[in-house]
Amino acid sequence: MATSTTTLFRDSYEEGGRDDVTEQIGLIWQQIKAPVIVPLLRMLVFLCLVMSVMLFVEKVYMAIVIVLVKLFGKKPEKRYRWEPITDDLEIGSSANYPMVLVQIPMFNEKEVYQLSIGAACGLSWPSDRVIIQVLDDSTDPTIKDMVEMECQRWASKGINIKYEIRGNRNGYKAGALKQGMKHSYVNHCDYVVIFDADFQPEHDFLIRSIPFLIHNPQVGLVQARWKFVNSDECLMTRMQEMSLDYHFTVEQEVGSSTYAFFGFNGTAGVWRIAALNEAGGWKDRTTVEDMDLAVRASLKGWKFVFLGDLKVKNELPSTLKAYRYQQHRWSCGPANLFRKMVMEIARNKKVSLLKKVHVIYNFFFVRKIVAHIVTFVFYCIVIPATVLVPEVVIPKWGAIYIPSIITLLNAVGTPRSLHLLVFWILFENVMSLHRTKATFIGLLEAGRVNEWVVTEKLGDALKNKASIKAARKPRIRIGERLHVLELGVGAYLFFCGCYDVAFGKNHYFIYLYVQAVAFFIVGFGYVGTFVPNS
């Protein structure tokens, strides 16, 4: 009897203690809520609404321009002089063809090196007027030997191919390209074409692109579009296709048609070597050496041409790890470049004020900074927080109408994936976590600002592994798949959803639960292709 009484007293005491703690937390929350939390959240809502309007105006502007271009605009062949290169029988069949350098930077590209080298060597161009330059930074001796043997195999067929290595990896891709331009035989070349290791150009790539440079001395760059060979591999690659198709179909097309400026995509493009040199050549000060070069060349007055009809096959990253590293580089680099170049662009006297405003505001600030920040902060932090602080109200036009219109405008690039629009929204919101973090790292020039991890390419490796090990399921280590940041944000969204169900009135819980599930799926690694280690 005494024991029962003691237990009852202890339980009552502990329950009372917990009630006291809960009351104290509630009291502290009420004390800081009105003077601190509410004003802070209202300020964040205001800033997010401003950024949403900026992004909305940019998307609508580009949509209007692209519609006008499609309806009334002329194709690049009409806006610029373009004539096919003809053979001159009197002075030799290849005399009218300029000397072209084709650079293929590589780093341990075991799965795709044969495809890229083979495609480059198959380009329709006189063999005495093209040099294939394989820039191999591989650290694996076996892979280096394989790449070198492949180059020797093509050389034995009469292809002018050079296998170049260097003693270090300073500057990564930019360093390799810069070193490649220093060889004496490059002095005889007029143009340089760059293909990353997973890119496979069609045989007529040079025939269709080079004439723009030959007949238009003000053009410094011709950029082709990317075509994805593995877009149907998994849902994650379909989501990437939607984002990148919008980039090429709208962003690049608008930049080419209106300002003759856009960001070089780092591959599947042809540079006039004179433009590259005048701009200062390759620099490794950021992880977006391609964008850096494009901005500097544009400030020198060079024009760029985008060819949406000229497509080059390539591979999308199909593992979550590879995609996260790529998105970090693509988000951190532009923000860091903006920090380094904003004053240089503003002070430039060779380009018009309108073009400078376009580069600083539209190209960099809205698309590379605001777009990432508002997506994560507004939709994954601020809107859920208003559930906990009902005193702060978000207008419907900011929470529903503007995001819906922006989403629909983004979807025009890939009509075949319209039915996946909801999945695309959820996935983009999850990835905005890493893009926002990378953007701030770039702006503040902190931590991983210069981190460069080469995007993993699988080629046919996954198919081969699947056929060999079809009967055996891979062992999955849970630690390899856990992503703490995504799980943390997912838990926050789930909590806000539960609070909204219990006490809320705006029915945000439907969105909050679905978005939380998306964060949990990515957090536990169940997205993309999983490649076992063994």
Which residues are the active-site residues? 137, 290
Burial degree of 347 (CB within 10 A; 0-12, 13-18, 19+): exposed
Q: How is the beta sheet containing 100-106 ordered, strand by strand?
A: 161-164, 130-136, 100-106, 191-194, 269-272, 219-228, 303-314
- Distance CA(319)–CA(529), nearest Å, equals 5
H or E segment at 271? strand 269-272
Q: Compute how many other C-beta atoms are within 10 angstroms of the C-beta atom of residue 167.
A: 6
Task: Say which residues have a Cβ less than 8 Å from residue 206's Cβ, sequence separation at least 6.
Answer: 100, 123, 124, 125, 130, 193, 270
Rounded to 5°, angle at Cα 417 from 414 and 423: 120
Cα–Cα–Cα angle for 62, 225, 449, rounded to 5 degrees: 80
The DSSP letter of residue 362 is I
What distance in Å separates the CA atoms of residue 87 and residue 83, rounded to the nearest whole number? 12
Query: What is the amino acid identity at position 376?
Result: F
Instruction: From residue 514, give the alpha-carbon distance in Å to each of 408, 438, 517.
Output: 19, 25, 5
Which amino acid, one-letter code, is at 118? G
